[in-house]
Structure formats: structure tokens, C-alpha cells
Amino acid sequence: MINLLPYDTKKQIKAARTNFILLQFTILLGFSIVFLTLACGVTYYFIDNIKASASVTSGSTTSPNSTQAKVDTFRNNLSNSRIILDRQVVYGDVIAELDALLPADNEISSFTLTDASFGSIVDVQVRIASSEGEKAFETKMNSINSTLFSDYKLGSTVPENATNEYPKLTNFKIRINKVVNR
């Protein structure tokens, strides 16, 4: 049936289709331009807001000298903390070293350790198992070579309960030094 149309009418129908397709592309191009313009406008708006808030924030920040002062204060506080931690003595270390000073057949009976003990002389009571242990104890205490302890003074040795595993009780005094960087 289309073949029966005159040539001029066919040409007009073909031109109408082409015009319709061009109109669709023109409308699509117009929407694309409007969309891109809106996208650029919104982006500009947000960038401008960010720039304004950054300038307000940078205007309220402290000067480099003030920042340097804060850094110096922090560094001083950190070094003070380091000094305190370096001077810290763990109570367990004191007890372990005192136990290491004693011969094998002796045991600590009484020993009080407080913050005031550091730098002062404290009393220690040791139970001794035998006469040989007493001699070994005196020899070991007379040859103390410790950075944590000094000023050893032997007290009296008294007999304790004879049925006890440790029949003798010895008192001695020793200074617990304040040691830095053990």
C-alpha cells in the first residue's frame, strides 16, 4: 500500500520521521543542558559553602606560636611522665631481689614494704634452717653487691621453736635505695 503512494507523499513522510527524530534529540539535548547547568550550580554552591566555613575556621585557629607553645607544653609533660616512670620501683622486684640475696635454706619471716621504705632502713626477719645456713647467710649478707640494697646491719639471732623446720630467727636491717633506670 505504501508503494501505491505518490513519490512526493513518500518523501514528505520520510522527512516527517526525520524531523520527529531530530525533535527528540533536540529535546534530549535541552534537558541535558539544563541538568548540567543545575549540577554545576549545585556544585558551585556547596564548594562556596565549604570555602566560607573553612575561612571562618581558619580565622579562629590559633597562631603558629600558640601551637608551638602547646607542643612544647605537651613535650615537657611527656618528659616529666618519663622521669616519673623511670624512677618507679616495682615492689615485686624488691622482694624478688631480697629473696635472691638469701641462701637457699633461709626464708623471709617478716618484712614490711611501703612507699616510705624506699630510701630508708627497714627491718627484715629471716628464718634459718641450720647452723650452716646461718653462716652462709652472714657471708652472703656481708658481700651484698646490689644497687637496690645497701647499709646491711646484722641483728641478733634467736632460737625459735625447736620443732619448726626453721629453728633460728635472725633480724637484720637493710636500706632500700631509690634506684633510677633499673
* Rounded mean pLDDT, 100-125: 80
Sheet of 106-111: strand order equals 106-111, 121-128, 168-176, 149-159
Residue 83 lies in a domain: no
Residue 136 lies in a domain: yes
Q: Is the pLDDT of residue 25 over 80?
A: yes
Say if residue 47 is in the same domain as residue 105: no
Q: What is the spatial distance between Cα 68 and Cα 87, in angstroms, rounded to a whole number? A: 29
* Rounded mean pLDDT, 153-178: 75
8 A C-beta contact, residue 110 and residue 131: no
* Rounded mean pLDDT, 141-168: 73
pLDDT value of position 170: 79
> Residue 126, Cα to own-chain centre: how many angstroms?
41
Residue bearing the bigger pLDDT, 7 or 179: 7
Q: Is the pLDDT of residue 141 over 90?
A: no
How many domains is the chain partitioned into structurally?
A: 2
Using pLDDT thresholds of 50, 70 and 90, give the confidence band for residue 65. confident
Say if residue 171 is in the same domain as residue 96: yes
Q: Is the pLDDT of residue 182 over 50?
A: no
Picking from 60, 80, 102, the residue at the C-terminal end of a domain is: 60
Residue carrying C-alpha cell 633460728: 168
Say if residue 39 is in the same domain as residue 108: no
Q: pTM value? A: 0.46
Residue 78 lies in a domain: no
Say if residue 99 is in the same domain as residue 170: yes
> Residue 83, Cα to own-chain centre: how many angstroms?
17
Residue 82 lies in a domain: no
- Which range has highest mean pLDDT (5-14, 58-67, 100-109, 135-144)? 5-14
Picking from 60, 76, 106, the residue at the C-terminal end of a domain is: 60
pLDDT value of position 62: 56
Residue type, 24: Q
User: 126: Cβ–Cβ under 8 A, 6 or more apart, which residues?
Assistant: 102, 106, 107, 108, 109, 137, 169, 170, 171, 172
Q: Is the pLDDT of residue 16 over 60?
A: yes
* Rounded mean pLDDT, 118-125: 83
Say if residue 122 is in the same domain as residue 165: yes
